[in-house]
């Protein structure tokens, strides 16, 4: 969606794009967030996976006659290859299980979300042409034995292997953390990725994964004029100082309550 509209209908770029599926966890961490315990295998993994498989089989058999079932009906476009299955999954074993599940269910359009551990499954992802929305960069490693900098270099590892990868931000406080998207890409630059390729993680690659790259994602003739102008490097907190922003060619206001207050007090104390 684009953020300059009177209502959600005008803001929507695409609707009914896909269905999100939370893959069962193969492992879970015991304890609490402030006093975590050891990571232990999930006792219900096989049972939950069987439940998910049965649910998709039932949705495939659902004809729509009789009593309406919105859950089954929502999966019909995914099973027909007309909408995307966004599968939220982490861990190498779980990802390999997902790839087998995709083949068994004959799913045509799939995107992995999060996908920590996918650095060990890149050949299979490339062969099956499955893109990845990499999990939040500013995070801790998901595994006790992972490299300390794995969240920072993870998207580069996938990209170097030929996987189509973009960034995503799901998790705690995800709404206000969206403002850090440029700096996620900037962090990846600091861990070896070319700045232009890192920029594509939040522009063209993201548009490609979402299937809207015909109109968005890059500055090209015929595409939407949705862009911003920054005084410095937009991927660096020090340089990310916006002066203009456009959505579908409309010059939008950058004024905010915080900016109004800043100007008010700068004037009060005669600051320039």
- As given in the structure block, the two tokens for residue 58 are 């039932």
Burial (CB < 10 A; 0-12, 13-18, 19+), residue 211, is middle
> Which stretches of the chain drop beneath a pLDDT of 70?
33, 271-272
pLDDT at 65 (0 to 100)? 82
At residue 19's C-alpha, the angle toward residues 13 and 22, to 5°, is 130
The pLDDT value given to residue 85: 97
pLDDT attached to residue 72: 94
Predicted confidence at residue 162, as pLDDT, reads 97
Q: Which two tokens stand for residue 231?
A: 């005084």
Which residue in this structure is represented by tokens 């915080």? 258
- Which CATH architecture best describes the domain 8-223? Alpha-Beta Barrel (3.20)
Kindly provide the residue ranges of all beta strands, DSSP E only, lying in the chain, ordered along the sequence: 18-22, 27-31, 36-41, 84-89, 110-114, 132-134, 165-167, 227-230, 242-247, 250-251
What pLDDT is attached to residue 271? 63
For residue 161, what pLDDT is reported? 97
What count of Cα atoms within 13 Å lies in the side-chain half-sphere of residue 137? 26
Instruction: Determine phi and psi for 30, rounding to 5 degrees.
Output: -80, 175
Residue found by looking up tokens 């990725």 in the block: 193
Mean of the per-residue pLDDT values of the chain = 92
């Amino acid at each position: 969606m684009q953020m300059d509209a009177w209502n959600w209908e005008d803001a929507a770029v695409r609707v009914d794009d896909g269905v999100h599926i939370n893959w069962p966890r193969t492992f879970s961490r015991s304890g609490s967030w402030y006093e975590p315990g050891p990571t232990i295998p999930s006792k219900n993994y096989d049972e939950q996976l069987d439940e998910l498989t049965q649910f998709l089989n039932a949705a495939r058999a659902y004809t729509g006659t009789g009593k309406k079932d919105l859950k089954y009906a929502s999966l019909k476009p995914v099973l027909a290859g007309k909408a995307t299955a966004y599968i939220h999954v982490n861990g190498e074993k779980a990802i390999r299980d997902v790839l087998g599940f995709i083949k068994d269910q004959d799913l045509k359009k799939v995107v992995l979300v999060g996908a920590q551990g996918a650095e060990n499954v890149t050949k299979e992802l490339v062969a099956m042409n499955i893109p990845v929305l990499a999990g939040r960069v500013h995070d801790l490693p998901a595994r006790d034995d992972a490299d300390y900098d794995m969240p920072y270099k993870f998207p580069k590892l996938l990209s170097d292997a030929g996987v189509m990868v973009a960034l995503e931000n799901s998790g705690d406080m995800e709404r206000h953390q969206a403002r850090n998207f440029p700096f996620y890409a900037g962090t990846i630059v600091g861990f070896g990725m070319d700045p232009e390729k890192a920029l594509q993680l939040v522009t063209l690659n993201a548009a490609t994964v979402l299937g809207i790259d015909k109109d968005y994602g890059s500055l090209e003739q015929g595409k939407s004029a949705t862009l911003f102008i920054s005084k410095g490097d937009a991927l660096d907190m020090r340089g990310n100082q916006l002066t203009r922003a456009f959505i579908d060619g409309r010059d939008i206001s950058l004024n905010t309550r915080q900016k109004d207050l800043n100007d008010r007090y700068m004037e009060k104390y005669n600051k320039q």
